[in-house]
Chains A and B, each alone.
Chain A
Amino acid sequence: MKNLKWRAAILGALILMALIYLTPSLSKELPGWWSSFLPQEKINLGLDLQGGVHLILEVEVNKAVESHLERVVEDLKSDLRKSKIRYVDIRRIGTEGVELICMSEQDPKDIEKVIEANYPDYNLEPPEATEKGTSYRMIISPRAKDHIVRMAADQALETIRNRVDQFGVSEPDIRPQPNHRILIQLPGIKDPKRAIELIGKTALLEFKLVDEENSLEEALGGNIPPGSEILYQSTYDSKTGRKVNVPYLLKKRAPLTGESLTDARVSIDSQYGDPYVSISFDARGARLFERITGDNVGKRLAIVLDNNVYSAPVIRDRIAGGKAQITGHFTMEEAKDLAIVLRAGALPAPVNILEERTVGPSLGQDSIRMGFRSMVVGGLIVILLVALYYKLSGLIADLALLLNLPLMMAGLAFFGATLTLPGIAGIILTIGMAVDANVLIFERIREELRLGKPPRAAIETGYSRALVTILDSNVTTFIAALVLFQFGTGPIKGFAVTLSIGLLASFYTAVFFTRIIFDYLYVHRKRKEVSI
């Protein structure tokens, strides 16, 4: 019975492997020698079981193209000034390019020269005469546009990674998706609202001078001077406690932005105990800041984040050393989060939250508890049913069923799969279906025995006849699981994975494992009566 020994050895090896793969998931702490050469993969619990946040963000890449074109507009203005070419108007055309309007007297050759020399990524269309003058349209090449879009998406991903890292989530999963989308999974997070705000904030920091030559009242009346804009500071009225929006008339151009930051930290005001964020500039930023403050003593400089004014202090003196403070009525957490987003840098384009799924920790625990409970109850009834129906053979099938569980779990650990609530349902379902293979085999053996075959022959024919059917039925279920895996997301994928692993495990235990025991009993020990 050499053959039987071999099969038993394979079974032993499989069980040992399963135990090894299960150990990291079961034990809290692994001994040091373990991790040096044994697997450390754990079964991950899905967000629906341990609680957490699942987000899908879309990077508004068109906004990145727009802001790139806006910069080109500014650059072109200064290039034209340098070349002493006078222009009537320069503006962005959607996300297509830039339109330049010059007096019709202007020699087109000069303009072409400037554009060709400085903007190789743009195609200049033939000039067109319009009412205002001659129009030159520079269209951005698809390749350059593509590059901007890709850079924006990559940079957004990187920035969000930085922010999440600094926020301190234990095992975040952040990955790019097609169509400039980003998938973010933050397991076990306690304050989802705060995390979502932190991630979704564009965090574009700008320093803008308050326009004090023009009247704010007039601007509010609708007469906004060119080159200026109205932005609001939202604060609390100290008397009524209501939220109020204070308008400011600011110069549109931001001489200094968050790009020049090197660090941002939370500090506490020694007088009132209010938290604020202190920031440091790099060398270029420090020089710029010194010049801006030096040139504008007595005027107000507004600190603007994502088009919200945080404060607009009066510049008392030239500030050297490249340090500044952002004050506002922050709570400690708000100040911390502001420091994080400033350190991690601004997103190159705003992001939209397309999908948000938050599971509170209490629900996750309930799901685990209830899933486990139904698994135990359902499993016990099935085990009882099978043992009653098939007697000793039924007990063998039950043993196979019990072996199935550690094998499945080990399989999940081996593939680093995530266990989700539908996944638990998948396991429970496999328990029900795993019995099927044994039922098929046992029914066949019964049929063969009724035909009067001796135990050994009946078992042999029963197994070989049933095998074809078992294979066929498993393949079709496997196909369904495969498609689910391909098209499903999150929990559904988890279901597909457990279902497939369960199919494989139950195929082995129901067909090969039970056969070992049958062969041992009826071939090796030569029992005469089959208890089935």
Chain B
Amino acid sequence: MEIIKPGINIDFIGKRKIAFVLSGILILTTFALLLLRGGPNYGVDFTGGVVIQVKLEQTRSPSEIREALAPIELSDSIIQEFGEKDANEYLIRTTKPEVQTAGLGGKVQEALTAKFGQGVDIRQVEMVGPQVGEDLRQKALLAIFYSMLLIAVYISGRFEMKWLMSIIMALALASAVYVSSLFGAGVTILILIALVVTVGFCWFLNLRYAMGAIVALMHDVIITFGAFALTNKEISLSIVAALLTIAGYSLNDTIVVFDRIRENIGRHRRKNFDEVINTSINETLSRTILTGLTTLVVLFALLFLGGTVIHDFAFALIVGIIVGTYSSVYVASPVLLMWEARSSGAGKGKK
């Protein structure tokens, strides 16, 4: 069986302008949404506070639950229905710092049992102190930063034999981040500085492949973030893990195409670079689609059957993998082409 006929030749590179516009719109929408909403919707992991998930025997309205919580001073907490319909599961959220948060789950159980009778099941309690929330946010951002850095080093070394240069880049980056942290810059700023420096170094050192891969990766992570902003889902620790996995997967896809480009450059010396890229994308197309498909199949199984806890995690991965597959074809390779054209001047690299 074959989805893609051998010898197919779709003109991906020719359509790159349309793709750039589409990607640009998606990224701008993400930023606009984030601005509109006043930043990402961070979950309790990052903001600090308490979330208690309870299962009741009967459906209760949020105001009934709030009323039941009045004796323990939680009447102004946010009550949300959670999970499937008729599951009678609710999330109780509070960020009140003055509430004694230790063992709050037990107190909530007592208060609800007093009002509604037996059958109150405390499914989950998550209490994160404000300091810890700050710590976790820093760690998560640092994790994203370091993975990008290491991946950039690996790609530059592997594809362009520029191990030394990429190591110099890594050191420069680390020191840039260190120096700016001396001036008391927040982690968000540090990440921005690091990204600017990474892209800048790729530019000056002419690390084309790393540039293409990093741009595609950032593209995927940002758009996945945007999908979360659009659906107003919470960014929790496990979503950050999903984002990093997306980074890994996105690269996986990009590298398969890049590998083929590198191989084909040696094989078709007469062809223009854009033709080589196009051929390479077409040759790997059936693999790109099949792998994307099998991964999506299991992720959809996870989304629909995996239960509420893992739902958002699966959602993030699904968005990321769809966008990642698209970007390895329409973003990574065109960026590589643009850089090639730039570095070889108006020569044969240009169309």
- By beta carbon, the residue of chain A nearest B106 is A193
Q: Can you list, as one digit per residue, whether each of B215-241 has a CB less than 8 Å from chain A (1) or not (0)? A: 000000000000000000000011011
- Segment among B20-28, B168-176, B189-197, B286-294 that sits at the interface with chain A: B286-294
Question: In the complex, are the beta carbons of A370 and B143 less than 8 A apart?
Answer: no
How many residues of chain B have a CB within 8 Å of chain A?
78
Does B122 have its Cβ within 8 Å of any Cβ on chain A? yes
Residues of A within 8 A of B306 (CB): 370-371, 373-374, 425
Least Cβ–Cβ distance between B100 and chain A, in angstroms: 10
A363 contacts B150, CB within 8 Å? Answer: no
A495 to B143 CA separation, bound complex (whole angstroms): 14
Contact between chains at A428 and B302 (CB < 8 Å): yes
A359 touches B307 (CB 8 A): no
Residues of B within 8 A of A433 (CB): 249, 252, 291, 295
A352 within 8 A of partner (CB): yes
Q: Known interface pairs A484-B241, A488-B237, A492-B238. Does A431 touch B313 (Cβ–Cβ under 8 Å)?
A: no
Task: Determine if B102 is an interface residue (Cβ-Cβ < 8 Å).
Answer: yes
Given A366, A429, A480, A492, which contacts B295 in the complex, CB threshold below 8 Å? A429
Residues of A within 8 A of B127 (CB): 353, 355-357
Q: For the complex, is B128 an interface residue (Cβ under 8 Å from A)?
A: yes
Binds B, one of A115-123, A133-141, A221-229, A381-389: A381-389
Q: Which one of A196, A356, A431, A435 has the highest number of Cβ atoms from chain B below 10 Å of its Cβ?
A: A356
Q: In the complex the two chains form, is B237's CB within 8 Å of A492's CB?
A: yes
- State in angstroms the CA–CA spacing of A477 and B300 once bound together: 21
Contact (Cβ within 8 A) A483 B143: yes
User: Quick check: is B247 within 8 A (CB to CB) of the other chain?
Assistant: yes
Contact A357 B125 (CB under 8 A): yes
A386 to B294 alpha-carbon distance, docked (Å): 8
Look across to chain B and name the residue whose beta carbon is closest to the beta carbon of A195: B103
Q: Does A378 contact B (CB under 8 A)?
A: yes
Asked if B276 is at the interface (CB within 8 A of a chain A CB), the reply is: no
Interface residues of A in 379-398 (CB under 8 A from B): 379, 381-382, 385-386, 388-391
The interface residues of chain A lying within 8 Å CB-to-CB of B106 are 191-194, 196
Which residue in A354, A429, A440, A472 is a CB contact (below 8 Å) of B287? A440
A191 to B103, CA, bound (A): 10
The 8 Å CB contact of B310, one of A355, A358, A367, A476, is A367
CB of A433, distance to nearest CB on chain B (Å): 6
Contact flag A385-B294 (CB < 8 Å), given A358-B122, A367-B309, A487-B143 = yes
Q: Are B294 and A432 in contact (CB under 8 A)?
A: yes
Could you say which of B121, B237, B249, B313 contacts A360, with CB atoms under 8 Å apart?
B121
Question: Cβ of B103 and Cβ of A479 under 8 Å apart?
Answer: no
B49 to chain A, nearest CB (A): 11
A516 to B124, CA, bound (A): 48
Q: 1/0 contact trace for B94-130 toward A, CB 8 Å? A: 0000000111111101000000000001111111110
Contact of A480 among B131, B248, B284, B302 (CB under 8 A): B248
Nearest-Cβ distance from residue B116 to partner chain A, whole angstroms: 17
A197 at the interface (CB under 8 A from B): yes
- The answer to whether B251 touches A436, judged by C-beta atoms less than 8 angstroms apart, is no
Contact A363 B309 (CB under 8 A): yes
A321 to chain B, nearest CB (A): 37
Distance from B182 Cβ to chain A, minimum over Cβ atoms (Å): 21
- Distance A527 CA – B123 CA, assembled complex (angstroms): 58
> Contact: B298 with A431, CB < 8 Å?
yes
Asked if A352 and B129 make an inter-chain contact with CB atoms under 8 angstroms apart, the answer reads yes
**Chain B 270-314 near chain A by CB (<8 Å), digits 1 or 0:** 000000000000011011001101111111111011110110011
Q: Interface SS of chain A: helix, strand, loop or mixed?
A: helix
Q: Is the CB of A385 within 8 A of B124?
A: no
Asked whether, in the complex, the Cβ of B252 is within 8 Å of the Cβ of A363, the reply is: no
**A422 touching B313 in the complex, CB below 8 Å, given contacts A378-B301, A435-B291, A492-B237:** yes
**B80 neighbours in A (Cβ, 8 Å):** none
| Contacts between chains A and B (CB distance < 8 A), count | 237
Contacts of A362 in B (CB 8 A): 55, 121, 123
The residue among B132, B290, B298, B314 with the most chain A CB atoms within 10 A of its own CB is B298
In the bound complex, do residue A197 and residue B123 qualify as a contact, i.e. CB atoms below 8 Å apart?
Answer: no
B142 touches A487 (CB 8 A): yes
B256 touches A366 (CB 8 A): no
Q: Is the CB of B154 within 8 A of A479?
A: yes
| B residues near A487, Cβ cutoff 8 Å | 139-140, 142-143, 146
Cβ distance B257 to chain A, nearest Cβ, rounded Å: 10
Contact A354/B244 with A379-B298, A483-B143 known, Cβ cut-off 8 Å: no
B255 adjacent to chain A (CB < 8 Å)? yes
Q: Does B73 contact A (CB under 8 A)?
A: no
Asked whether, in the complex, the Cβ of B154 is within 8 Å of the Cβ of A192, the reply is no
| Chain A neighbourhood of B128, CB < 8 A | 354-355
Whether B143 and A486, one on each chain, are in contact in the complex, defined by CB atoms closer than 8 angstroms, is yes
Q: Which of B142-182 contact A (CB under 8 A)?
A: 142-143, 146-147, 150-151, 154-155, 158
Question: Is A473 an interface residue when CB atoms closer than 8 A count as contact?
Answer: yes
Q: Closest approach, in angstroms, between the C-beta of A35 and any C-beta of chain B?
A: 35
Residues of A within 8 A of B284 (CB): 443
Q: Is the CB of A447 within 8 A of B256?
A: no
Tell which of B237, B255, B294 touches A473, judged by Cβ atoms closer than 8 Å: B255
The answer to whether A363 touches B123, judged by C-beta atoms less than 8 angstroms apart, is yes
| CB pair B241 A382 closer than 8 Å | no
**Residues of chain A with a CB closer than 8 A to B314's CB:** 425
Asked if B241 and A422 sit within 8 Å, CB to CB, the answer is yes
Nearest B residue (CB) for A200: B102
Quick check: A479 and B248 within 8 Å, CB to CB? yes
When distances are taken between beta carbons in the complex, the residues of chain B under 8 Å from A381 are: 297-298, 301
A443 and B147 form a contact (CB under 8 A): no
B259 within 8 A of partner (CB): yes
Nearest CB in chain B to that of A191: its residue? B106
Q: A373-B305, A433-B249 are in contact. Are A439 and B132 (CB under 8 A)?
A: no
Shortest Cβ distance from B155 into chain A, in angstroms?
Answer: 8
Determine how close the nearest CB of chain B comes to the CB of A367; give it in whole angstroms: 6
* A64 CB → nearest B CB, Å: 19
**For the complex, is B6 an interface residue (Cβ under 8 Å from A)?**
yes
CA distance in complex: A381, B300 (Å): 11
- CA separation between A379 and B101, bound complex, in Å? 42
Q: Indicate whether A355 sits within 8 Å of B251 (C-beta atoms), given known contacts A371-B310, A433-B295, A487-B142.
A: no
Q: Judging by beta carbons under 8 Å apart, are B237 and A429 in contact?
A: no
Bound state CA distance, A375 and B297, in angstroms? 11
Instruction: Scan residues 75-120 of chain A and give those whose CB is less than 8 A from a CB of chain B.
Output: none
- Measured CB to CB, the closest approach of chain A to B174, in angstroms, equals 14
B206: CB under 8 A from chain A? Answer: no
The interface residues of chain B lying within 8 Å CB-to-CB of A385 are 293-294, 297
What is the CB-to-nearest-CB distance from B277 to chain A, in angstroms, rounded to a whole number?
16
- Could you tell me if B132 and A56 are in contact, using CB atoms closer than 8 angstroms? yes
Would you call B36 an interface residue if the criterion is a C-beta within 8 Å of the partner chain's C-beta atoms?
no
> Do the beta carbons of A382 and B294 come within 8 Å of each other?
yes
Name the residue among B125, B139, B151, B260 with the largest chain A CB count within 10 angstroms.
B125
Complex interface: chain B residues within 8 A of A378 (CB): 297-302
Contact across chains for A495 and B287 when beta carbons are under 8 A apart:
no
Is A149's CB within 8 Å of the partner chain B?
Answer: no
How far is the CB of A45 from the nearest CB of chain B, in Å? 14
Contacts A378-B302, A476-B255 aside, 5 further interface pairs with beta carbons under 8 A come to: A354-B131, A359-B124, A425-B310, A432-B297, A479-B150
| Residue positions of B touching A, CB distance < 8 A | 1, 3, 6, 53, 55, 101-107, 109, 121-129, 131-132, 136, 139-140, 142-143, 146-147, 150-151, 154-155, 158, 237-238, 240-241, 244-245, 247-249, 251-253, 255-256, 259-260, 263, 283-284, 286-287, 290-291, 293-302, 304-307, 309-310, 313-314, 317
Instruction: Provide a sorted-by-A list of 26 A–B residue pairs whose CB atoms are within 8 angstroms.
Output: A354-B132, A355-B132, A359-B123, A362-B55, A367-B307, A378-B297, A378-B302, A382-B298, A422-B313, A425-B302, A429-B295, A432-B299, A433-B291, A436-B291, A440-B287, A443-B284, A475-B154, A476-B252, A476-B255, A477-B248, A480-B244, A483-B147, A484-B143, A484-B244, A488-B143, A495-B238
